[in-house]
Structure 1
Amino acid sequence: MKNKKKVILISSICAIAVIAVAAGAAVFMSRSGKVADEQTTPETTQIPVVTAAPEPTKDPHEGMVRSNLTGEYVTKKVAEKRPYAVIINNIEYANANQQGTSQIDVLYEALAEGGITRMLGVIQNVDKIKKLGSVRSARHYFVSFASEWDAIFCHFGQTKYAISKIEELGINNLSGLSAIGPVVYARDYSYKAPHNVFTTGKKMKKGAKKLGYRTKVKSDNVAEHFAFYEEDTDLDSIDDTTYIKLPFSNYSTCYLKYDTKSKTYKKYEYGKKHKDHKNNKQLAFKNVIVQLVKEKNIDKNGYQHLFLHKRKGEGYYLTNGKRVKITWRKSEADHKMTYYDESGDVLTINPGKTYIAAYPTSRKKLISFKEK
């Protein structure tokens, strides 16, 4: 009996010991698992992201201003230069020998007598002109066009009507038939007279200085012919126009073709490319304005008169292969000529060179927009 009790006591002690060991193991395993979990899960540390401040964008046109003639950015010094407006001979012989014409910023073309056309080239920075011409005699409506730009008017000869208009409008001019002529102009005897008179930028500036002419433009004297888009812009128009033919007369017909690569209208005259034979470049224009003007013959010499003063009219504007209808108003008294879009707002054109055809209203029906 005594031994039996001893066995039971020992068994109880062993059972208690086993239970204690098992409980300790469970606690240990539980704690070991928690520690393992904490060790295998790395702590996440938030690293602040530093964003570099963007560098300020440099204005490519900083310190520059827009040209009144082309709308392109030029230095302030160039923008302040007073333009020169030069009469350019354009009969077929002279056309084949023209020089310096690709440097013209705004080019006018209009009828003279006998069905020929004459041109007026307006240039802001004549420093780049190494040779320009041939230079011919003035017609009074070109005097009027020159006055719109506050330009110094350059010509070799003139009609009595041109003399009157120069005096009426008070235009500073460099006449080849006056005492200043030899300073400004010279003949190139490799061409036939009278189609061989040329000038240079240096000579024009020298002549203007000798006569005491102002050399800086007065912005108040420059008409707001048109506004300029900030950058190249297509017209909102359904009228595709990659070609225009302007038969000024039976003798003189010019046409312009749109070149998609340069996005300019390239000029042709007398059935050939109209070139500057100084550098062999074809004349090309970002903008084309056809200004329809009433005209009439005013004397036995066949001299023409264009009705401009206190007048208004219609026309077309072409750029980037499109065209829109426009209107224009002119007042010689304040030297103003302004072009308007179909909404009646000042016409906005693309930056670049401009060709303006003062085209007879009587021949409007002969204008063609389709190449045959």
Structure 2
Amino acid sequence: MKKRLTLILLTLSLAGVLSIAGCGKSDEEATSDNTFSTEDEVTADGAEDTENTEEAEDEVAPEGMYRSELTNEWISEDLKDQRPIAVMVDNEKTALPHYGLTQADIIYEMMNSTLNDHITRFMVLVKDYDSIKQLGSVRSVRPTNLMIAPEWNAIVCHDGGPFYINTFLNNPYVDHFSGTFSRVKNGKPREFTEYVLTGDMKKNFKNNSSIDRNYNEYAPTEAHFKFASESKPVALSDGIDCTLVDLPFKHNGSQLDYDEESGTYLYSEYGSKHLDPGNDNKQLAFKNVILQKMSYSQLDEHGYMVWNCLASGQEGYYITNGKAIPITWTKNSDLNRTIYRDLNGDEITINTGKTYIGFVADDVWSELVVE
């Protein structure tokens, strides 16, 4: 009980203000162009205030560089118009070690099946994918991923999926490559041998000219995140101390530990550090951690499910630099970005760097440890 006291107090505080967040603004219905909706009659808290209240700092970009829209880090200007890819990465223990994940910009982790102790899967967003020699292993996609990837205009890279994905794949704003990547002989069963290797994306674009490498008509029209200046990072001075995030993912045992020296949260699972042999065995690390409390709908007895990711004013946390604050999140449609707000109703500002986004089921949210 002592271990979870802070989390319980924060949850009670959040519950008291959820009815306030978004009041006084026009509501919109959350929509998805699919055969079924993940939430009935979901309303949003209206159009967000897109004005940046912080005074923008004058800075001179290094020659040939620009700030990435995914991390705010300086990257090559040649990548400015290039769409990110969203790679489905198997997270079964047999799939380890993962390759290339330390070079990803944003990683989503979410339950992939209601069976097998609610095993999770990664959706890995990468802007500069040509710089990664090996990424994966690649596995099948689920409906939820085809509702989240469009808010980034990302090209989904996967290997098939259940028939539930078919309607989603037919949406005009969903682009994907399936089963068109390289096989690596690693001594494992075939389902654990597919990776995105150097040259695979170039080959895919050549073989399917209908998919744009660059941002297309469904590209975001506004910044996905509000980033703080690197000279004035977000400190969350009013937040609680947070050096441990113990996620209630029974199968994987996912955990994030704060490393004060690097100012990042180091990821572990299955009782071990998550290391990347493709990058000098670096441990997977994140500057920002965002957790979203979310309900889900089970589709059949085989464990297939869909997250109710179209919702308004739901609970969550933003965690950075050893501190955590309760937040709310809203997503109105497949193409609309997910907006994260503090308890005053203001969109949060996050720090420059990589971001971990975890979907935590509402029926295990009370088991989440943030301390």
Pick the TM interval, shorter chain: 0.7 to 0.9
Per-residue CA shift, 1:176-204, capped at 9, x if unaligned? 1xxxx2xx332434322211111124202
The corresponding residue for 1:174 is 177
The corresponding residue for 2:227 is 228
Contact 1:79 1:124 in 2 (8 A): no
TM-score normalised by L of structure 1: 0.78
- Shift in Å at residue 238 of structure 1? 3.7
* Separation in 2, partners of 1:155, 1:60: 35
Q: Measured at CA, do residues 160 and 220 of structure 1 come closer, stay the same or move farther in structure 2, by a change above 3 Å?
A: closer
Q: In the alignment, residue 229 of structure 1 is paired with which amino acid?
A: A
Q: In the alignment, residue 80 of structure 2 is paired with which amino acid?
A: A
SS in 1 for 2:190: coil
The corresponding residue for 1:348 is 349
SS in 2 for 1:302: coil
SS in 2 for 1:140: coil
Contact 2:248 2:365 in 1 (8 A): no
The corresponding residue for 1:209 is 206
Per-residue CA shift, 1:147-203, capped at 9, x if unaligned? 111011100121112222121353111011xxxx2xx33243432221111112420
Q: Measured at CA, do residues 340 and 285 of structure 1 come closer, stay the same or move farther in structure 2, by a change above 3 Å?
A: same
Structure 1 segment 301-312 matched on structure 2, within 5 A? 301-312=302-313
- Shift in Å at residue 359 of structure 1? 1.1
My pick for the range that moved more, 113-122 or 229-238, is 229-238
SS in 2 for 1:118: strand
The corresponding residue for 2:98 is 98
Q: Measured at CA, do residues 289 and 219 of structure 1 come closer, stay the same or move farther in structure 2, by a change above 3 Å?
A: farther
Please, which runs of 5 or more residues in structure 2 have no aligned partner? 1-57
Count of residue pairs brought into register by the alignment: 306
The corresponding residue for 2:261 is 261
* Separation in 2, partners of 1:309, 1:265: 28
Per-residue CA shift, 1:76-109, capped at 9, x if unaligned? 2222211111000001121x22111111100000
Q: Measured at CA, do residues 88 and 242 of structure 1 come closer, stay the same or move farther in structure 2, by a change above 3 Å?
A: same
Contact 2:84 2:155 in 1 (8 A): yes
Query: Structure 1 residue 163 and structure 2 residue 163: aligned?
Result: no
Contact 1:174 1:208 in 2 (8 A): no
SS in 2 for 1:221: coil
- Shift in Å at residue 60 of structure 1? 5.2
* Separation in 1, partners of 2:86, 2:75: 19
My pick for the range that moved more, 320-329 or 217-226, is 217-226
Please, which runs of 5 or more residues in structure 1 have no aligned partner? 1-56
SS in 2 for 1:161: helix
Contact 2:248 2:368 in 1 (8 A): yes
Q: Measured at CA, do residues 298 and 311 of structure 1 come closer, stay the same or move farther in structure 2, by a change above 3 Å?
A: farther
Q: In the alignment, residue 245 of structure 2 is paired with which amino acid?
A: I
Query: Structure 1 residue 199 and structure 2 residue 196: aligned?
Result: yes
Contact 2:150 2:334 in 1 (8 A): no
Query: Structure 1 residue 120 and structure 2 residue 115: aligned?
Result: no
Q: In the alignment, residue 264 of structure 1 is paired with which amino acid?
A: T
Contact 2:290 2:316 in 1 (8 A): yes
Structure 1 segment 56-135 matched on structure 2, within 5 A? 59=60, 61=62, 64-94=65-95, 96-113=96-113, 114=115, 115-135=118-138
The corresponding residue for 1:46 is none
Structure 1 segment 239-254 matched on structure 2, within 5 A? 239-248=240-249, 250-254=250-254
Larger helix fraction of residues = 1
Per-residue CA shift, 1:45-72, capped at 9, x if unaligned? xxxxxxxxxxxx9935455322110011
Per-residue CA shift, 1:264-296, capped at 9, x if unaligned? 000010111012122211100000000111113
The corresponding residue for 2:146 is 143
Q: Measured at CA, do residues 65 and 220 of structure 1 come closer, stay the same or move farther in structure 2, by a change above 3 Å?
A: farther
Contact 1:87 1:154 in 2 (8 A): yes
Contact 2:104 2:124 in 1 (8 A): yes
Contact 2:275 2:284 in 1 (8 A): yes
Contact 1:147 1:169 in 2 (8 A): no
Structure 1 segment 11-26 matched on structure 2, within 5 A? none
Per-residue CA shift, 1:306-349, capped at 9, x if unaligned? 11225441100000000111111112253432212222222210
* Separation in 2, partners of 1:151, 1:138: 14
Q: In the alignment, residue 120 of structure 2 is paired with which amino acid?
A: T
* Separation in 2, partners of 1:136, 1:297: 20
My pick for the range that moved more, 71-80 or 120-129, is 71-80
Contact 2:234 2:351 in 1 (8 A): yes
Contact 1:67 1:73 in 2 (8 A): yes
The corresponding residue for 2:33 is none
Q: In the alignment, residue 226 of structure 1 is paired with which amino acid?
A: F
The corresponding residue for 2:155 is 152
* Separation in 1, partners of 2:165, 2:59: 49
* Separation in 2, partners of 1:363, 1:107: 21
The corresponding residue for 1:338 is 339
The corresponding residue for 1:319 is 320
The corresponding residue for 2:271 is 271
Contact 2:83 2:153 in 1 (8 A): yes
* Separation in 2, partners of 1:201, 1:106: 20
Contact 1:188 1:198 in 2 (8 A): no
* Separation in 2, partners of 1:155, 1:187: 16
SS in 2 for 1:148: helix
My pick for the range that moved more, 123-132 or 160-169, is 160-169
